[in-house]
Amino acid sequence: MNADAKPVTVTGAKRYSAGVMKYAQMGYWEPDYEPKETDIIALFRITPQDGVDAVEAAAAVAGESSTATWTVVWTDRLTACEKYRAKAYRVDPVPNSPGEFFAYIAYDLDLFEPGSIANLTASIIGNVFGFKPLKALRLEDMRLPVAYVKTFQGPATGIVVERERLNCYGRPLLGATVKPKLGLSGRNYGRVVYEALKGGLDFTKDDENINSQPFMHWRDRFLYCMEAVSRASAATGEVKGTYLNVTAGTMEAMYERAEFAKDLGSVIVMIDLVIGYTAIQSMAKWARDNDMILHLHRAGHSTYTRQRSHGVSFRVIAKWMRLAGVDHLHAGTVVGKLEGDPATTKGFYDIFREERNPMALENGIFFDQEWASLNKMLPVASGGIHAGQMHQLVHYLGEDVVLQFGGGTIGHPQGIEAGATANRVALEAMIYARNAGRDYMNEGPDILKDAARTCTPLKQALETWKDVTFDYTSTDAPDFAPTPQVSQ
Contact residues for another protein, defined by CB under 8 A: 160, 163-164, 167-171, 200, 219, 223, 226-227, 230-231, 233-239, 263-265, 355, 373, 376, 421, 424-425, 428-429, 431-432, 435-437, 451, 454-455
How many residues in total does the chain contain? 488
For another protein, the closer CB: 92 or 164: 164
What's the rounded Cα separation, in Å, for the pair 15 and 71?
11
Contact between 391 and 166 (Cβ < 8 Å): no
In whole angstroms, the minimum distance from the beta carbon of 198 to another protein comes to 10
DSSP lists the bridge partners of residue 92 as 102
In whole angstroms, the minimum distance from the beta carbon of 82 to another protein comes to 39
What's the rounded Cα separation, in Å, for the pair 227 and 138?
46
The residue among 177, 333, 162, 198 whose CA lies nearest residue 245 is 177
What's the rounded Cα separation, in Å, for the pair 118 and 125?
10
Contact between 16 and 58 (Cβ < 8 Å): no
For another protein, the closer CB: 82 or 238: 238
Catalytic choice (297, 301, 330, 386): 297
In whole angstroms, the minimum distance from the beta carbon of 66 to another protein comes to 35
Three-state helix/strand/coil letters over 59-116: HHHHHHCCCCCCCCCHHHHHCCHHHHCCEEEEEEECCCCCCCEEEEEEECHHHCCCCC
Q: What does the buried/exposed string (b/e) look like for 349-377 if buried means 16 or more CB atoms within 10 Å of the residue's CB?
A: bbbbbeeebeebbebbbbbebebbebbbb
Bond before 482 cis per omega within 30 degrees: no
What's the rounded Cα separation, in Å, for the pair 427 and 390?
6
Tell me whether residue 297 is one of the annotated catalytic residues: yes
Segment holding 379, helix H or strand E: strand 378-382
In whole angstroms, the minimum distance from the beta carbon of 241 to another protein comes to 11
Segment holding 196, helix H or strand E: helix 186-198
Work out the angle at residue 403's Cα, subtended by the Cα atoms of residues 343 and 418, and round it to the nearest 5 degrees: 145
Q: What is the DSSP letter of 216?
A: B
In whole angstroms, the minimum distance from the beta carbon of 81 to another protein comes to 41
Q: What is the DSSP letter of 184?
A: -
Catalytic choice (179, 285, 449, 459): 179
Tell me whether residue 179 is one of the annotated catalytic residues: yes
| Residues with a known catalytic role | 179, 297
